[in-house]
Structure formats: structure tokens, C-alpha cells
């Protein structure tokens, strides 16, 4: 009888513990935390610009012009402290000599999130974009046309 009572107490404790764990509030997880990380940019484009010369297909690619191959890549690093860092790498290869030159540029700004909108500020200039995350893909698109009429999209894959 003593062993049965002890078994029943342990079983009751296990059931209560399990129900407490399973009933944890999902609100404890902040969906905005999904954006934190390093994203390899796969698409950077603008369409419907007032000046058609500003329209771009995808700047994250290689193009051949005037005997040079120009390849661009970028990463976005978004941390939990509100920092948004953009790293650009451009490799220019002289096709005649096969010699390359690499140029890097990095820019750190701050960000804040409100719902599905991210506001990114650099030197007092702020831009708001709508962001979506689908699996490991982040997409940022401007919240309405910019001052030059462009509708821009940036997509990236999380590392």
C-alpha cells in the first residue's frame, strides 16, 4: 500500500509537471527575435522608379562590362542590441589579365521593430520597411514608394 501511494504521488507529480510545461504561454516567444542573425543577401532590386535608369534587376550577381567582371555580394547582420550592419563586397576582375581587386564596405545603423515593420536609422536618416520571414528567408520591402518612386526589395537567407 505504501509503494502504491508513493507511485500515485510520483505519477500525479509527473502529470502536473507535464501539464505545466505544455501550458507555457507562447507569448513568451517574441516573433521579432527571428530576424536576429546573419543574412546572406540573395536579391537586391528596385522597380517602378521615377527615373528608369534607377531600376535594377538584381545587384547581387556578376556582370561583364568593358572587359571586367564585377561581382557583388552583401550580408545583413542584425543583433539583439538594436544594431543593423550591412556588409558589401565587390570583386572586380580584369578579364584580360585575370587579376582581381576586392572592395569592401560596411555600414552600421540602428533598428527598431513594430509588428511587421522595421525602422532602420543611419546618421539621423530613418527608413521603414515591411519585413517577412518565411523559413530561412528574410524579405525587406519599402513601406510604400520612396522619394524617387522606387519600390525596393532585399531578400536574404539566414546562415
Residue 105 forms part of a structural domain:
yes
The answer to whether position 18 is within a domain reads no
| DSSP annotation string for 84-97 | EEEEEEEEEEETTT
pLDDT at 28: 53
Q: What is the number of alpha carbons within 13 Å of residue 9 lying toward its C-beta? A: 6
24 lies in some domain: no
Which residues touch 82 (CB under 8 Å, ≥6 apart)?
A: 110, 111, 112
Q: Would you state the cell numbers that stand for residue 31, as one nine-digit string?
A: 516573433
In-domain check, residue 75: yes
Other beta carbons within 10 Å of 101: 10
What pLDDT, on a 0 to 100 scale, did the predictor assign at position 30? 66
Provide the number of structural domains found in the chain. 1
The total of other beta-carbon atoms located within 10 Å of residue 131's CB is 20
* pLDDT string in tens for the chain (159-residue length): 544 444 344 333 333 333 334 444 445 556 678 999 999 999 988 888 889 888 887 777 899 999 999 999 999 999 999 999 999 999 999 999 999 999 999 999 999 999 999 999 999 899 899 999 999 999 999 887 777 888 889 999 999
The residue with cell 520591402 is 141
Q: What is the pLDDT, as a whole number, of residue 93?
A: 97
Note the pLDDT of residue 29: 52
Quick check: is 12 in a domain? no
Produce one character per residue of 14-48: b if its CB has 16 or more CB atoms within 10 Å, e if not: eeeeeeeeeeeeeeeeeebeebebebebbebbbee
Residue 111 included in any domain = yes
CATH number of residue 85's parent domain: 2.40.128
> 104: domain range?
30-158
Residue 144 lies in a domain: yes
The torsion angles phi and psi of 89, rounded to 5 degrees, stand at -130, 125
Q: Do the domain assignments include residue 21?
A: no
Amino acid at each position: 500500500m505504501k509503494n502504491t501511494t508513493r507511485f500515485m504521488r510520483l505519477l500525479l507529480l509527473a502529470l502536473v509537471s507535464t501539464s505545466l510545461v505544455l501550458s507555457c504561454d507562447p507569448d513568451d516567444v517574441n516573433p521579432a527575435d527571428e530576424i536576429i542573425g546573419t543574412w546572406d543577401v540573395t536579391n537586391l532590386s528596385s522597380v517602378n522608379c521615377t527615373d528608369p535608369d534607377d531600376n535594377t534587376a538584381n545587384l547581387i550577381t556578376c556582370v561583364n562590362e568593358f572587359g571586367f567582371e564585377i561581382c557583388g555580394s552583401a550580408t545583413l547582420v542584425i543583433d539583439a542590441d538594436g544594431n543593423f550592419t550591412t556588409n558589401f563586397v565587390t570583386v572586380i576582375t580584369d578579364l584580360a589579365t585575370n587579376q582581381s581587386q576586392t572592395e569592401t564596405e560596411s555600414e552600421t545603423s540602428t533598428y527598431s521593430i513594430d509588428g511587421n515593420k522595421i525602422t532602420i536609422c543611419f546618421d539621423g536618416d530613418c527608413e521603414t520597411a515591411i519585413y517577412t520571414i518565411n523559413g530561412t528567408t528574410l524579405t525587406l520591402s519599402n513601406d510604400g514608394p520612396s522619394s524617387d518612386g522606387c519600390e525596393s526589395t532585399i531578400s536574404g537567407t539566414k546562415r
